[in-house]
Amino acid sequence: GRYYSQRASALAGSPPATTAPAADPAITDEERAAANRWLATWAQDAASGVAPTPVEPGPDVRSGDLLVRLGKHEAALSEYREAVAAAETRPAHLYALAHYLHGKGEYWVSIQAASRLWELAPVRSPAELPSGVLKLLYPAPYWGLVQKASNAHNVDPLLLLALMRQESRFTPWVGSGAGALGLTQVMPATGEDIARSLGRSGFGRDDLFRPNVSIEFGAFYLARQLAALGGRPEFALAAYNGGAGNALRWMNRDRNIDPDLFVESIDFDETALYVRTV
């Protein structure tokens, strides 16, 4: 998989290049035009050499937009997913949907559409995608808040973005079956502990749905795991997802354990996939 190919490159002395996004990570008109030209070279549904952007919203998208205005976000997400599923074999339309939904801040389904587009594209890795597609696949919303929280708690902003992408697909209202909430999926009890540590009074469960709170609390909690576990992101991510006690067990309490051996030692399928993906 991609994780192992990236690890092999890193061990060979060629780690993948990572560049922090610009202050405004928006997709430019030039990037959109370049993506359309790229699609015209291989996508059969790119009519007349131009992909259909901006998309003409179909019934599922229109229903989703209406449900969002009514505050029914989960129902809207279901409608948007139906639109993506209907376009799953049409690359140019997938791009148009991804671009439209990205512009609406519906990153969960925008990423889903962009991911399907990547599966169809004649490329071997995301690095070969045009930047106008790559920004849909790996968006950087809330970048100002991410920078602020990362600087305050001394964590890599790209690591925090990657964690948010995996935890919530940048969806602030989402909650898990276990009760974790918000962009960084913090448990309410953990949020209360973080609020006390930061000297924040009046914290309530619903504050975790606020992006500024969730991002700061997630950065704080990630920084706590990094500090406790030797600064290694693999260890910290395993603790963030699977608990600090389990991370210590997988490490065999050895902070110098080989990171690949550590990852292979994780016996929670969800956590193993989480660490590799982030």
| Active site positions, annotated | 167
CA distance 240 to 224: 10
All residues at 6 or more sequence positions from 218 whose CB lies less than 8 Å from its CB, including other chains: 149, 160, 163, 164, 167, 182, 183, 184, 185, 186
Q: Which amino acid is at 87?
A: A
Q: Is the dihedral of CA 102, 106, 107, 111 positive or negative?
A: negative
At residue 183, what are phi and psi to the nearest 5 degrees? -60, -35
Residues 3 and 276 sit within 8 Å (Cβ to Cβ): yes
Find tokens 């260890």 and name the residue.
Answer: 235
CA distance 119 to 113: 10
